[in-house]
Structure 1
Amino acid sequence: MGLEFLDVFEQWADSYDESVGGNNREYKAVFAGYEQILEAVTALSKGNVVEFGVGTGNLTKKLLDSGLKVTGIEPSVPMRGIAEAKLGTKAKILDGDFLHFPEIINVDTIVSTYAFHHLTNVEKDEAIAKYGKLLSKGGRIVFADTMFESVEDYNNAIVKAREQGFHNLAKDLETEYYTTIPILKSILENSGFTVSFNRCNHFVWLMKGEKR
């Protein structure tokens, strides 16, 4: 799961919930409508759910509260600790990442928020191929993540972040592996998924892939 960014997850652990709540001006647009984004992912989930990149457990809690069975995967020890403290005995969070994780069976839905961009496009392709083997016909992948309609839109986002003085955001956009919708659409279709995208805010799109 782009473990080269693990130190970033550790740095974000203590301040992540404050940031998603809109208290970090630099990332406010990235997390606009955060609660609604989590609710949209939850609404599209069914059956036995695997969540990659649990983080501090915000989506996990919504999934569990809706009555779904959830197995979480999270590589960051501090993030995992915060999530387990938040969720209590309901938590089942395993050490792992998008590509390397314990054996899981009977998976109906695979979900993630704000994390898939830590994989290169090659790694994204590898991950989706793995999930295609885990899911039966009608199984779903539901991701909410920053992505762009085109390379031009991606480059414009970096320029705008710099102009606004959002240097950390600009650095994130330049160094992490944000992809475009056409590339992600092609990756999912090549692994046997029907895919749709819906915009959530200026940065984040909700992607649903259903296995044919």
Structure 2
Amino acid sequence: MGKWDFDNWAESYDEDVKTDDWIHRDYLTVLKLVAERAKGLVVDIGCGTGNILGFLNCEEYIGVEPSAGMRGKFLGKHGFEPLNGHFLALPLPDGSVDTVITTYAFHHVPDEEKEDAIREMLRVLKPGGKIIIADVMFESEEEKRRIGEMDGITEEIEDEYFATVDGLKEISARLGLECRFQRVNRYVWVEEMKRAT
């Protein structure tokens, strides 16, 4: 995570996400889509400054954020502080939450750690709970390359660990999960995962 300076980015983050660049296109729409699906006790991994709180209507909310700068900004905005943790080490007991959400953060998890991150989300999930991941994704590695070349963003794409729908379907199959995907725009998808019944 040291690759990205989140502590300093915290100062300008809320302004940066308002720019309609390729990553943050339809940003508020994406937050609303995730918030509508989140129920019960919700844990938000990589919660940043807590922008999704403007849309959530849940029983209880727990933010998890590894950056002290982001946690401080969150505290200033919302009056409480997220927990210090990350995708591979959630500071929560087994089977304790109804919905795990993450928006625009999963692309910071290296590809070889994505399955471990999903396992950790499953660990804290109650039976019948669900995981909602909203982020820049691509249908396949081939599409990732093609869009990068067509849109002149190959360098930006290669600087992150953007998931593919194909890859997440494979992980879901290995973990016995049902998954469904909604494409929001050219770059952003929302995935919902839950244990197969």
Q: What's the TM-score once normalised by structure 2's chain length?
A: 0.90
Name the SS of the counterpart of 1:4 in structure 2. Answer: coil
Distance, in Å, in 2 between the alignment partners of 1:130 and 1:204 is 23
Letter in 2 for 1:55: G
Sequence identity of aligned pairs in percent? Answer: 37
For the residues of structure 1 that align with 2:166 and 2:16, how far apart are their CA atoms?
A: 29
**Any conservation in 1 of the 2:44–2:64 contact (CA below 8 Å)?**
yes
Distance 2:78 2:177 in 1: 32
2:67 aligned partner, one-letter code: S
**Would the aligned equivalents of 2:47 and 2:65 in 1 still touch at CA under 8 Å?**
yes
Correspondences of 1:104-119 after superposition (within 5 Å)? 104-105=93-94, 106-119=96-109
Higher relative contact order (CA 8 A, sep 6+): 1
TM-score with structure 1 length normalisation?
A: 0.84
Distance in 1, matches of 2:174 and 2:81, equals: 31
Return the alpha-carbon distance in structure 1 between the equivalents of residues 191 and 119 of structure 2: 16
Indicate yes or no: 2:34 matched with 1:41.
Answer: yes
Distance (Å, rounded) in 2 between the aligned partners of 1:95 and 1:11 = 17
Query: Where does residue 2 of structure 2 map in the other structure?
Result: 4
Unaligned runs of 5+ in 1: 163-168
Pick one of 167, 170, 176 that aligns with 1:186. Answer: 170
Q: How many residues align?
A: 195
* Counterpart mapping for 1:24-39 below 5 A: 28-39=21-32
Alignment correspondent of 1:54: 47
Q: CA deviation at 1:120?
A: 1.8
**Ranges in structure 2 where 5+ consecutive residues have no aligned partner:** none
- Structure 1 residue 179, shift from structure 2 partner: 2.0
Deviation at 1:198, TM superposition (A): 0.3
1:69 aligns with 2:60: yes
Amino acid at match of 1:13: A
1:151–1:180 CA contact under 8 A, matched in 2? yes
Which residue, 146, 157, 173 being the options, matches 1:156?
146
Contact 2:31 2:55 in 1 (8 A): yes
Structure 1 CA distance for aligned equivalents of residues 3 and 86 of structure 2: 12
Q: Corresponding residue for 1:165?
A: none
CA contact (8 A) 2:145 2:154 kept: no
Instruction: Give SS of 2:130's match.
Output: strand
2:183 maps to 1:199: yes
Once residues 161 and 189 of structure 2 are traced to their aligned partners in structure 1, the CA distance between those partners, rounded to angstroms, is 15
Greater helix content: 1
Preserved CA contact (<8 Å) 1:114 1:145: yes
Letter in 1 for 2:2: E
For 2:120 and 2:58, how far apart are their aligned partners in 1?
26
Q: CA deviation at 1:121?
A: 2.2
2: CA distance, partners of 1:172 / 1:4: 17
> Any idea what SS the aligned residue of 1:93 has?
coil
- Is the contact made by 2:45 and 2:63 (CA closer than 8 Å) also made in structure 1? yes
| Partner residue, 1:144 | 134
Q: Is the 8 A contact 1:19 1:28 kept in 2?
A: no
